């Protein structure tokens, strides 16, 4: 068994329940199609990894994705408790270095995940900062439950507050490169994911969000 594990959090692709902020501009159907593309992008990138994967779905397991990997349903009252449980399950199974990512990163790559894993050789904790002030990747070499407790999820000061708390506890923390996830229409059209993807451009243009 590998000592390394990547956990991937996936929101079930359900019309009207994914990318709701983006949907306010381009509608539920197009937001659904774009999120489907993002999940596929995440799957392709992570399948290239030579480490084990655990896939955690928000509502129910989707058998057509990550067909040969272990799949679970997220459990917990909020995002923090769901992430904490996923990490704890990984450590309980004997993994020593674990990173967790989401599934809405248009520029996620094998190399970025590997960078997160690599940083855990000399650090207790690693984060991949998101441009909106949160983080798209969190990794640990041992369990630190405080990361997940009483945090302002989905706010612009999430990572700052988390780092301040960890620094006060003298934990060894490092960062990898900053990425932008796709939450809003502005995020979408500013991304290379949009600029280099004619299919996504067509989805948006058909909706007349861009003229």
Residue 209 lies in a domain: no
Mean pLDDT is lowest, of 109-123, 128-142, 150-164, 184-198, for 184-198
Encode pLDDT of 5-32 as tens digits: 999 999 999 999 999 999 998 899 989 9
Residue from 51, 60, 44, 50 nearest 10 by CA: 60
Residue 148 lies in a domain: yes
Question: Per-residue DSSP letters for 87-99?
Answer: HHHHHHTT-SEEE
Residue 59 or residue 198, greater confidence: 59
Where residue 87 falls among pLDDT bands split at 50, 70, 90? very high
pLDDT value of position 210: 54
CB-based contacts of 131, cutoff 8 Å, min separation 6:
178, 179, 180
3-state helix, strand, coil in the chain (%, to 5): 40, 20, 40
- Print the domain residue range for 47: 4-201
Residue 4 has φ and ψ, to the nearest 5°, of -110, 145
Residue 125 lies in a domain: yes
Residue 45 lies in a domain: yes
**CA 85/CA 102 separation, integer angstroms:** 15
Residue 137 lies in a domain: yes
Residue 39 lies in a domain: yes
CATH number at residue 122: 3.90.550.10
CB-based contacts of 163, cutoff 8 Å, min separation 6:
127, 173
Residue 206 lies in a domain: no
Residue 210 lies in a domain: no
CB-based contacts of 169, cutoff 8 Å, min separation 6:
146
Element (H, E) at 142: none
The total of structural domains in the chain comes to 1
């Amino acid at each position: 068994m590998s000592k390394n594990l990547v956990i991937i959090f996936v929101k079930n692709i359900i019309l009207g329940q994914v990318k709701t902020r983006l949907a306010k501009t381009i509608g539920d159907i197009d937001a659904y199609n774009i999120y489907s593309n993002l999940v596929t992008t995440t799957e392709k990138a992570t399948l290239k990894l030579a480490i084990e994967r655990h896939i955690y779905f928000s509502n129910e397991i989707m058998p057509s994705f990550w067909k040969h990997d272990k799949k679970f349903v997220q459990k917990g009252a909020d995002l923090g408790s769901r992430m904490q449980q996923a990490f704890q399950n990984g450590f309980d199974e004997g993994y020593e270095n674990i990173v967790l990512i989401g599934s809405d990163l248009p520029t996620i790559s094998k190399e970025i995940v590997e960078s997160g894993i690599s940083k855990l050789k000399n650090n207790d904790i690693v984060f991949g900062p998101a441009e909106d002030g949160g983080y798209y990747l969190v990794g640990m070499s041992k369990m630190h439950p405080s990361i997940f407790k009483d945090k302002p999820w989905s706010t612009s000061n999430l990572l700052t507050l988390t780092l301040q708390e960890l620094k006060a506890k003298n934990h060894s923390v490092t960062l990898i490169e900053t990425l932008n996830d796709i939450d809003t229409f502005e995020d979408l059209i500013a991304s290379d994911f949009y600029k280099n993807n004619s299919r996504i451009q067509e989805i948006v243009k058909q909706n007349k969000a861009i003229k």
